[in-house]
Structure 1
Amino acid sequence: MKAAVFHGPGQPLTIEQVDIDEPKAREVLVRTVASGVCHSDLHFVDGLYFWMTPAILGHEAAGVVEKVGSQVAYLKPGDHVIACLSVFCGYCEECMSGRPNLCSNKEATQRAPGEAPRLSQKGQVINQFADLSGYAEKMLVHENALVKIGNDVPFDRAALIGCGVMTGVGAALNTAKVAPGSTVAVFGAGGVGLAIIQGARIAGARMIIAVDKFPAKLELAKKLGATHAVDASKGDAVSQIRALTGGGVDYSFEAIGLKVAAEQAYESIGVGGVATIVGMVPLGQKVEVDGFSFLFEKRIQGCFMGSNRFRIDMPRIIEFYQQGRLDLDDMITRRGKLEDVNEAFRAMKAGEVARTVLMFD
């Protein structure tokens, strides 16, 4: 099959032929139809996070089941699916306590050392990224990395739900539990930030402030539900938010992965407020906050994949879309082919796109 192979930080991905194995007992072979280009992949390309190479990146994908292993009962060939990187074992303490996104036994969903690899090239292992590897014509994954969807859901929109939309909407509804009538600030109006804005709107927030430095992204944020926009390139964003709210928001979200943005998100909340850090702050960097502020019951918390139970949450997100309450159409700025993956990264860094989706024939 054809795949975009990652050979190391600072290097463009290269289109190569890669071998993919047959599915074992609980594995599923999926023909990739659409794969979103997410900022998290860019962190690895830029060397801010580490992954063993060579590897196939990509973790926001949707497709069609081609083959299933002998013990798979949930899916059958022909089913349409969304892949999710928060694959779960189903029986560890986190899974059993209702937090499968934090599964502590992912080894149970991976092939054991010594077994044939899922992905290879000329007999050498190609590392699978996030148990998915979506920048390829096919994916071989554990069945617990997939959710079945209706055949009427467009694949490009479904792919977005696999990471960015699930993370953003989930951050608002599941992690922070935004209350009706509350005030919200979202730092970063990329794919995840736009999904947070829409999640806050669905939750009933009365004021949603989008913060970004690209005017086009702020305009899109307002179209998708932001009531106010703050241009971070023109003055201090925190003081602007405090002026708009009379002291700070009830909920803030950082959706970029920057230390300074995470600190600003915390500084922008008012008394009793909650700051949720959704972006991937680079390894080793510390987020610093004023200790005295904790006397005002301010909180800062993390978020992984929108605290999802994705086989429950993703079908609900699809219903929001089908009811017209969630706009996925306008979140896709560009569509391209697998060969356009490096251009998609460039456009993301330049602030030209909310999301690029790679479409496979």
Structure 2
Amino acid sequence: MRGILFDGEGAVVVDELGTTDLEPDQVRVRIGAAGVCHSDVSVINGTFGQMFSPPFVMGHEGAGQVVAVGSDVTTVEAGDHVVIATIDNCGRCSVCATGHPTLCQTSKLGAAIAKRNETGEEPGPGDLPAYFTYQGEAIMGFANTGVFAEEVVVGQGQVVAIDKRVPFTSACLIGCGVLTGTGAIFNRAQVYRGDSVAVIGVGGIGLNVIQAARIAGATKIVAVDNNPAKEGFARQFGATHFVDSGQAPSVETVREITGGGVDCSVECVGNTSLMMDAVEMLRPGGSMVILGVAGMDAVMELAPFKLYQNKSIMGCRYGSARPAFDIPALVDLYLDGRLLLDELVSATYDLAELDKAFDDLEAGKLARGVLDLS
């Protein structure tokens, strides 16, 4: 089957991919569409370090149709349309049992991440799941998925059945960008009606932060970006104000707009200087959420007194998502007309056009680009 490999130098389309046989708790999915996320760029340029050793199948934001299930699978069946989550979780440990599956360290991927965080050592062969085959060898899919391929094998905890009225080209975005952006507001910051929110970076993640803030009832939503062309996207998704940070001092402007600072700021770029700006934008008692992924060696220096007025800095992995709950809720919001998904899809591409999708992404032309595999 076709798919896109990162071979250590670049992304290449290959025809000789296969998948491993299904284990009892696994699901095989025929991919209908896959979103092109900036994390797919980051894994090539080294932002994520060497955690995913080439060759591996790229892509992590996908939706499709179940074609087969393992003998122990009870949550989906053949024919179901599903969104694929990047996280797998055991469902039994203390963090899973208390509704925090993104923190699970019992699954194979979770254990590998925990090992790297504790020791600084990159995972070795056998530490990460490998459900693809290529030239006689088992290889990984990026972020536990690898959805830039015609079919994938994933754990049943990674697939959530959705209403078939949602097009795959829209549904695939839920798997990362939508879950991450909306989760930062709904799950992590828990924005309340009447709150004010600043969103730094109006890409695919930032737009979902913006629309989640709108749905949550925030009354002032300030989008900040150095590309003035992003203003239209930002306002379409719910921003009440837009700050062109290339022309105006963002911290001072946000404070002026909000009368002293915001209740919540979300940094969606992965730039430590912008993270510091996000802290400076807070009112007393406000919370800053880090969504952008900085380089592995990046350091943010902060004077402790900046936080003395009950300000908080919060990390947020994958929107602190609970996929089995959050994905159906987001689909309901979409079907009710409150969550914009179709509007996120700026362009669709063939697998062979990934380089063009990357170029358009870097040029700021897209809310989200999508590879159509249907």
TM-score using structure 2 length: 0.92
How far off is 1:108 after superposition? 8.4
Q: Is the 8 A contact 1:68 1:77 kept in 2?
A: yes
Deviates more, 1:11-20 or 1:156-165: 11-20
Structure 1 position 177 matched with structure 2 position 193: no
Q: Distance in 2 between matches of 1:22 and 1:341?
A: 28
Fraction of identical pairs, as percent: 38
Q: Distance in 1 between matches of 2:346 and 2:245?
A: 22
Q: Distance in 1 between matches of 2:129 and 2:284?
A: 55
In the TM superposition, what are the counterparts of 1:229-244 in structure 2 within 5 Å?
A: 229-244=242-257
How far off is 1:229 after superposition? 0.1
Secondary structure of the 2:27 match is: strand
Q: Is the 8 A contact 2:163 2:331 kept in 1?
A: no
Secondary structure of the 1:296 match is: coil
Q: CA 1:228–1:71 in 2, change beyond 3 Å: closer, same or farther?
A: same
Q: Distance in 1 between matches of 2:75 and 2:368?
A: 30
1:269-310 Cα offsets, whole Å, 9 max, x none, are 111110000111111111222311222111111111111111
Q: Is the 8 A contact 2:104 2:110 kept in 1?
A: no
Letter in 1 for 2:166: V
**RMSD between aligned residues:** 1.8
TM-score using structure 1 length: 0.95
- For 2:24, the equivalent position in structure 1 comes to 25
Q: Distance in 2 between matches of 1:216 and 1:239?
A: 21
Q: Distance in 2 between matches of 1:66 and 1:143?
A: 13
- For 1:314, the equivalent position in structure 2 comes to 327
What 5-or-longer segments of structure 2 have no aligned partner?
112-124
- For 2:5, the equivalent position in structure 1 comes to 5
Structure 1 position 261 matched with structure 2 position 262: no
How far off is 1:3 after superposition? 0.6
Q: Is the 8 A contact 2:128 2:140 kept in 1?
A: no
Q: Is the 8 A contact 1:222 1:228 kept in 2?
A: yes
Q: Distance in 1 between matches of 2:277 and 2:110?
A: 38
How far off is 1:15 after superposition? 0.2
How far off is 1:109 after superposition? 9.3
Q: Distance in 1 between matches of 2:344 and 2:248?
A: 27
Structure 1 segments (4+ residues) deviating >4 Å: 112-117
Letter in 1 for 2:6: F
How far off is 1:74 after superposition? 1.6
What 5-or-longer segments of structure 1 have no aligned partner?
none
1:219-273 Cα offsets, whole Å, 9 max, x none, are 1111110000001111321111111112111100011111111111111111111
Q: Is the 8 A contact 2:109 2:129 kept in 1?
A: no
Secondary structure of the 1:130 match is: helix
- For 1:204, the equivalent position in structure 2 comes to 217
Structure 1 position 90 matched with structure 2 position 88: no
Secondary structure of the 1:344 match is: helix
Q: Distance in 2 between matches of 1:207 and 1:3?
A: 43
Q: Distance in 2 between matches of 1:293 and 1:131?
A: 38
Q: Distance in 1 between matches of 2:129 and 2:300?
A: 41
